[in-house]
Structure 1
């Protein structure tokens, strides 16, 4: 298995890189500051590039089996990395004939039990709305892409190693879960989903128990 990881130097990205290598995958780690990663592994290729650059993204994806996207950015609505970045990743995946993508978003785009999305509810924190709208745009682009996608919709992320104490649910936040999750557990779930494909063309709610 060979995977391209976008956002490889972030909280979740670093765990994805390390866990994928432990599984024996070949990893292409993409980002602006990938030199921060330890590259003393023959199965790891560091690719310095910009997610808005067609050639950079295409070259990173071509020949891979799947893409893992954990793009980050600011929370104030001015940073379009999440929406425009995934748009370019989708376009270059089509050029490269790569079909499988697992991407990270936020729980605001999950369905609310009373209808609509969580982000549309009056009690949704106002400060999270700009980044939530970015996640919504990313999800909408995945829906329209024709790719085999899964959109992991996380609550607040704790920068910590995986412990496995989480549950998941399709399209909704899982009953009984706490609105927090370790970054290492998000990576653990994403790599497991890559193998088992339990949530094709679906959003996934995830949270600690």
Structure 2
């Protein structure tokens, strides 16, 4: 199994890299600051590049079994890395003939009980709307593609190792929903989903139990 991780040096990306290597995967870690990762595993390939560089993104994607996107950026809406990055990644995946992508977004993209998205509800926290719209655009790019996508809609991310004590649901927040999830558990679930393919063409709600 060979995977590429966009956003490999971020909060969740680092867990994806380490857990992927523990599984024996060949891991391509892509990003501007990948030199920050310890290059001590023969199965780890560090690829320095920007997510807007189509040629570099294509080279990173070519030949892998699955793509993981955990792109980050500023939360005030001025940073378009999540949406424009997804546009480039999905386009280059199509060129390379790669179908499977598992991407990380925000909770606001899940369905609300009375219709619409959570981000569109009056009681949705306004401070999260700008970054939530970026997540929404990234999801819409995947939704409108012919890729085999899964979009993880994360609540608050806690910098903590995996516990395996989390719950997921399709397109809506899970019950119980405690509004938080460990970075390590997000990575664990994303890798499990790559193996199980339970949520193809679906958004996923997730929460620590």
Q: Secondary structure at the match of 1:129?
A: helix
TM-score normalised by length of structure 1: 0.99
Give the distance between the partners of 2:118 and 2:91, measured in 1 at CA. 28
1:46-74, Cα deviation, whole Å (9 max, x unpaired):
00000000011001000101100000000
Give the distance between the partners of 1:177 and 1:155, measured in 2 at CA. 9
Give the distance between the partners of 1:184 and 1:62, measured in 2 at CA. 27
Q: 1:129 corresponds to which residue?
A: 129
Q: 1:24 corresponds to which residue?
A: 24
Q: Does the alignment pair 1:169 with 2:169?
A: yes
1:146-193, Cα deviation, whole Å (9 max, x unpaired):
000000000000011001111000000001121000000000000000
TM-score normalised by length of structure 2: 0.99
Q: Secondary structure at the match of 2:12?
A: helix
Q: 1:12 corresponds to which residue?
A: 12
1:77-107, Cα deviation, whole Å (9 max, x unpaired):
1000000000000000011100000000000
Give the distance between the partners of 1:144 and 1:112, measured in 2 at CA. 21
How many equivalent pairs are there? 209
What are structure 1's unaligned runs of at least 5 residues?
Answer: none
Give the distance between the partners of 1:68 and 1:115, measured in 2 at CA. 29
Q: 2:119 corresponds to which residue?
A: 119
Q: 1:93 corresponds to which residue?
A: 93
Q: Secondary structure at the match of 1:28?
A: strand
Q: 1:189 corresponds to which residue?
A: 189
Give the distance between the partners of 2:74 and 2:124, measured in 1 at CA. 18
Q: 1:65 corresponds to which residue?
A: 65
Deviation above 4 Å: which 4+ runs of structure 1? none
